[in-house]
Amino acid sequence: SNDKVYFFAENRDGEDAFIFESDTSKIDIVAGSVGPGGYSDTDENQAALGAGLETVFQVTEDASGDLLIFENQRIRKISLTTEALEPKISTVLDFSHIANFPVSKTIRDMVYDASTSTVYFSCSDATVYKASLVAGASQYDFSGTSLSGTIRLALIPDHLLVLQTERDRILAVER
């Protein structure tokens, strides 16, 4: 919405992880740190620049123009708009507080519906889940449809889009 692109990058060893902001003239670092990556609760509500980042899947803007980053087991917010002079980082949703959350699975992609505080995610075993603090986590049942390979997700009104990249197929599932 602000004509900028946000992206995540880290070195090959998973260290020196940063979120960058780019427009047509420059690239700036908006969050992250040098050294071993990883979440630390001491980063909560502290400066985003210097915060540890871990396995970032996606970076997106919320309705206010702040950033939501989808990390390993949580969604975090970087207050780029609401605290523009010194953006802070905070946890929006920690999946460890969600009943039935499949902690042993490796998440590959996520989308978040802020209006319902619901996260949708796909795992490395081609399973897809819906999770919220209120309802807990549940796996989608694709009876009669075989999912395999890399699964990407997107939200449209009332539906979750499930993209099977290897099969060039998109399934629309009611949310």
Find tokens 């997700």 and name the residue. 153
89: left (phi over 0), alpha (psi -120 to 50) or beta: beta
Average pLDDT rounded to a whole number, residues 83-87:
85
pLDDT computed for residue 37 by the predictor: 63
Residue 91, C-beta contacts closer than 8 angstroms, at least 6 positions apart:
44, 74, 75, 76, 77
* pLDDT tens-digit readout, 20-67: 989 888 999 999 888 766 667 678 889 999 888 877 878 888 878 889
- Predicted local confidence at residue 27, as pLDDT: 92
Comparing CA positions, the residue from 8, 43, 55, 49 lying closest to residue 30 is 49
Query: 59-74: per-residue pLDDT in tens?
Result: 888 878 889 888 877 8
- Residue 99 binned pLDDT confidence (cut-offs 50, 70, 90): very high
- How many residues belong to the chain? 175
pLDDT at 157 over 80: yes
| Strand-strand pairing, 5-9 and 15-22 | antiparallel
Per DSSP (E only), the strands in 10-87 are: 15-22, 27-36, 46-47, 58-61, 67-71, 74-78
